[in-house]
Amino acid sequence: MTTYFSTTTYSQLLVEFQPKVIVTEEEYDRTLEAIEKLMAYKYRTPEQTAILQLLVTLVEEFENKHLLLQF
């Protein structure tokens, strides 16, 4: 079974979530909220899954650079 990926839907999600490199704690918190919102969907679309993966990657990068240095 081939899953259809809509670039239009993905573009709309990019506008909604506006993913970018996380620099501040405020951006970090907002990104975590977005991740929680996407995780709450029982059935995620391929586009939602792609945005979720992107946001998680951005959070992991921020944590590796900033939060691990605090210990």
Could you report the per-residue pLDDT of 14-53, keeping only the tens digit for each? 999 999 999 999 999 999 999 999 999 999 999 999 999 9
pLDDT on residue 20: 97
12 close to 18: Cβ distance less than 8 angstroms = no
Tokens read off for 1? 């079974």
- What one-character DSSP code corresponds to residue 41? -
pLDDT on residue 66: 87
Closest CA to 31 of 3, 69, 71, 66: 66
- On the question of pLDDT at 70 being above 70, the answer is no
* Element containing residue 70 per DSSP (H, E): none
CA–CA dist 44, 38 (Å, integer)? 8
pLDDT on residue 12: 97
- pLDDT category at 68 given cuts 50, 70, 90 is low
